[in-house]
Amino acid sequence: MKKLIIANWKCNPATLKEAQELFHLIKEDIKNKDVVICPPSIFLPFLICDDINFGAQNCFWEKSGAYTGEISPQMIKSIGCEYVIIGHSERRTIFNESNDEIRSKIKQAKRAGLVPIVCIGESKDQNTFEIIEEQIRGVEQDVILAYEPLWAIGTGENASFDKVREVREFLKDRKFLYGGSVNSQNAKDYLEITDGLLIGGASLNAIEFLKIIKTAY
């Protein structure tokens, strides 16, 4: 199975100019690969180009209407994206997104023809499998799941390979990514036990990100 590498730039960089510069540094090396760049939505129209996959970092659960500030999956699709990250732990914790809202977003994203990348994972004091069971209830089999334990995101404290393997087995035949402090040193080992990686911090450093891409290809 081909490995999928998702770059989640989060709310970075701070300006369009910096986003264009970062993209310029990685562009040629990610063409025609299973790499998806997810910059802030406002930068997408300035970066989208042929032979590279793009995604948004979030979407709304309605197609259109009186929802000030929201961006629908249909809008995301219409500018040339194929993917959308849904339920990232920062959305769940900082913006209080519930599992029900996330399920609605997944439904609308699929309706729009986007591939949802749904983030799941527990905090330190929670039972991994109880939390995941609730997070994936009603989520269809064809959705990509990214296991990102909260304590591993942006901390340098990775989930152990045994833990990731255990979660993968629990999720059986689903397409399964790992995310959480992935870098060029550990990417190869995670790629051996997953279908790909969701990368935050390391995707903002062109040299580091391209090293990870080389590991996968």
Selected catalytic residue, list 90, 97, 122, 148 = 148
Report if residue 97 touches ligand PEP, rule: CB under 6 A.
no
82 has catalytic annotation: no
Whole-angstrom distance, CA of residue 193 vs CA of residue 213: 16
- Residue whose CB is less far from ligand PEP, 74 or 89: 89
In the three-class reduction of DSSP (H, G, I as helix; E, B as strand; rest coil), residue 52 is classed as coil
Judged by CB under 6 A, the chain residues 10 through 29 that form the site for ligand PEP are 10
Pairing between β-strand 35-38 and β-strand 115-120 as defined by DSSP bridges: unpaired
Burial degree of 166 (CB within 10 A; 0-12, 13-18, 19+): middle
Residue in 44, 76, 144, 182 binding ligand PEP, rule: CB under 6 A: 182
Two structure tokens written together for 87:
């339920």
Q: Which of 148, 151, 159, 212 binds ligand PEP (CB under 6 A)?
A: 148
Restricting to residues 186-215, which ones interact with ligand PEP according to CB under 6 A? Answer: 198-202
C-alpha to C-alpha distance for 162 and 165, rounded to whole angstroms: 5
Q: Which of 3, 5, 7, 8 binds ligand PEP (CB under 6 A)?
A: 8
179 part of the interface to ligand PEP, by CB under 6 A: yes
74 or 182, CB closer to ligand PEP? 182
SS3 197: strand
Active site positions, annotated: 88, 148
